[in-house]
Structure 1
Amino acid sequence: MSHHDNFIYLTFALVLLLLSTAIAQQFFEPSAQRFVQSTTVITLLVAVWGIKKDEFLLAKAFIFPVAIILTSFAGFYLDEFGLEFTHLILMLIFFVSTAYQTARQVIFSGEINGNKILGAICLYMLLGLIWALLYTLSQLYFGQAFNGMPEATQWYIAFPDFVYFSFVTLTTLGFGDISPNLPITRFLVYFQAVFGQFYLAVLVASLVSSRKSPHQNGNNSTS
């Protein structure tokens, strides 16, 4: 894996991890979500943060599963000691930082290629996960912050449903099975919908036009 193909791997990894979130919710105990989210964290560390470091420890095959297990245990102990909000806020900070790092690699560096266009897709999925964490924090803090959601006392029970709701909102599908119940959560929902539309309209269009511009410049120079 290198900076030329890291987002190819990350795109497949994020899709599989989102699928794993649904499978864990469907067939396993809710606490299995800890393992899925730990896998997500370590995957992002390798594919986004470690891509420019040749000696990045987590990129080694034998370290990768060990890091996932250790991260799962760390999350378990944070939850057991009543530090659930700390756990979620740390995850939120990490996802926001990773989204920023991804944006830097996609938008602010070098020529646009297929890998960076896939990076834009990865960034879109990261935005969905960031808002899912914000919704989960709101639900745990305020109680009934959303209609259609049971009162969950553990984040990993509510989080899979908010992943679904977040991507439905980001794409402005709006099925209505889950809806915001408080002014602050209504703000989060409509702000995500607006942000998602501007992301598709502005960023993806910029990437495509940047990819075309070298060809246009080449045609102009030959004419």
Structure 2
Amino acid sequence: MAKIGNISHHDNFFYLTLSLTVLLFGIALSHQFFDASSQRLMLTSIAMVLLVSVLGVKENLNFKEPAVFLPILSCTLIIVGYQLNIYHFYLFQLVMLLIFFGYMAYHVAVQVIFTGPIDLNKILGSICLYYLIGLTFAILYTLCQMTIGPAFSNSTETQHWYLLLPDYIYYSFVILSTVGFGDIVPSQPITKFLAYFEAIIGQFYLAILVASLVSSAATQRKLKRSLND
């Protein structure tokens, strides 16, 4: 096993939370103030976030693990795709990103919900998991728009994923939080299913997270009392 960095399970979510927050804010800035080529360059920063994500979730890594080769492959695809500008290559990039974010969300969920006492790191981990769920669905929506489109009304009409993704990141988190502004509306059965399924996940996530934290806190109190007695 090869150890990467000096990150332990007591502080491993800090860098992941920071990198995901910076990524989302950077995508919003590029979408607001810069042209398409600049947005494309900004979205290649996903590659750096993928690598930081690896450090943020697992302390010891084997370079044969999906947590390592998936981000490296995704980085390569993003860089090569930037040069080739081929439509089907875009789809492959998105599929790899989808697999990676789903994989990372699973491992974060295991650490946050099922292991360890309540501390700042676990709270940051719950934020990371929320980010990863939203990003995973954003990629799903982007894939739907590119393959079965028009899958949404009032969304950007383009086949370039780096132009579509900012809108669907916004839409995904609006649905996940069940705010529902209604400015982007799913128009295909599959996208309608994904939208209400994400809303269900958002509601149950909060319920499960709160229950897990309360249960963990109660267990910690019992342990302290038993030690004091």
Normalising by the smaller structure, the TM-score range is: 0.7 to 0.9
TM-superposed deviation, 1:86: 1.0
Please state if 1:38 is matched with 2:44.
Answer: no
Aligned equivalent of 2:114? 108
> Structure 1: how far apart are the matches of 2:106 and 2:84?
26
> Structure 2: how far apart are the matches of 1:116 and 1:26?
33
The one-letter code of the counterpart of 1:52 is N
Gaps of at least 5 residues in structure 2 are 1-6, 64-71
Q: Is the 8 A contact 2:174 2:181 kept in 1?
A: yes
Aligned equivalent of 1:137? 143
Identity %: 44
Paired positions, count: 213
Q: Is the 8 A contact 2:78 2:93 kept in 1?
A: no
SS at match of 1:83: helix
1:40-74 superposed Cα distances (whole Å, 9 cap, x missing partner): 2222122224x22499xxxxxxxxxx999856413
Q: Is the 8 A contact 2:20 2:128 kept in 1?
A: yes
1:82-106 superposed Cα distances (whole Å, 9 cap, x missing partner): 3111111111001101111112222
Once the two structures are superposed, the pairs formed by residues 52-131 of structure 1 within 5 Å of their partners are: 52-53=60-61, 72-77=78-83, 79-80=85-86, 82-131=88-137
1:148-200 superposed Cα distances (whole Å, 9 cap, x missing partner): 11321111110000000000000000001101001110000000001100000
The one-letter code of the counterpart of 2:60 is K
Aligned equivalent of 1:61? none
> Structure 2: how far apart are the matches of 1:115 and 1:17?
20
For residue 178 of structure 2, the aligned residue among 141, 161, 172 is 172
Aligned equivalent of 2:68? none
SS at match of 2:182: coil
Q: Is the 8 A contact 2:153 2:184 kept in 1?
A: yes
TM-score (norm 1): 0.84
> Structure 2: how far apart are the matches of 1:150 and 1:160?
10
Gaps of at least 5 residues in structure 1 are 56-65
Larger mean CA deviation between 27-36 and 1-10 belongs to 27-36
> Structure 2: how far apart are the matches of 1:206 and 1:109?
10
Following TM superposition, the consecutive aligned residue runs of length 4 or more in structure 1 with deviations greater than 6 angstroms are 66-69
For the structure 1 residues 218 and 103, does the alpha-carbon distance in structure 2 shift closer, same or farther, using more than 3 Å as the test? same
